[in-house]
Structure 1
Amino acid sequence: MQSTLIMNQKHQEDLAHIRSMMERSSRFISLSGLSGVFAGLSALVGGLYVYQLFKVNGIEYFTDEHILLSGDLVSHLFFTGIVILVCAFVFGAFFTIRKSRKYNLPIWTSATKNMLFNLAIPLVAGGIFCLALLYHGNYGLVAPSTLIFYGLAVVNAEKYTFSDIKYLGFSEIILGCISLFYIGYGLIFWIFGFGILHIIYGLVMFKKYK
Structure 2
Amino acid sequence: MSSEDYLKDISEIKNLMNKSTRFISLSGLSGVLAGTFALIGAAYAYWLVTSSKRGYLILDGKIFNLVLIDLILVFILSVGTAIYLTTLKARKNNERIWDATTKRLLSSFLVPLIAGGIYTLIILKQQRYGQTGALMLLFYGLALVNASKYTLGYVKYLGYTEIILGLLCAVYPGFGFWFWVIGFGVMHIVYGILMYFKYERIG
TM-score if structure 2 supplies the norm length? 0.92
Match runs of 1:94-173 below 5 Å: 94-173=84-163
Q: For residues 66-115 of structure 1, what are the alpha-carbon distances to aligned partners after superposition, in whole Å with 9 as ceiling and x for unaligned?
A: x4514123333222222111111011011101111222221111111111
Match runs of 1:1-210 below 5 Å: 6=2, 8-60=3-55, 67=56, 69-72=58-61, 73-210=63-200
Identical-residue share of aligned pairs (%): 41
How many matched pairs? 199
Which entry has the higher C-alpha Rg, 1 or 2?
A: 1
- State the distance in 1 between where 2:94 and 2:85 align: 14
Q: Which moved more, 1:185-194 or 1:100-109?
A: 100-109
Unaligned runs of 5+ in 1: 61-66
Unaligned runs of 5+ in 2: none
- Quote the RMSD (CA, aligned, Å): 1.5
TM-score if structure 1 supplies the norm length? 0.90
Q: For residues 47-77 of structure 1, what are the alpha-carbon distances to aligned partners after superposition, in whole Å with 9 as ceiling and x for unaligned?
A: 00110110232354xxxxxx45141233332
Kindly provide the amino acid, as one letter, of the partner of residue 160 in structure 2. F
- State the distance in 2 between where 1:43 and 1:123 align: 17
Q: Provide the secondary structure at the position in 1 that maps to 2:153.
A: coil
Q: For residues 122-178 of structure 1, what are the alpha-carbon distances to aligned partners after superposition, in whole Å with 9 as ceiling and x for unaligned?
A: 101110011001111111111111001000000000000011211100000000100
- CA gap of 1:181–1:19, structure 2 versus 1, over 3 A, is same
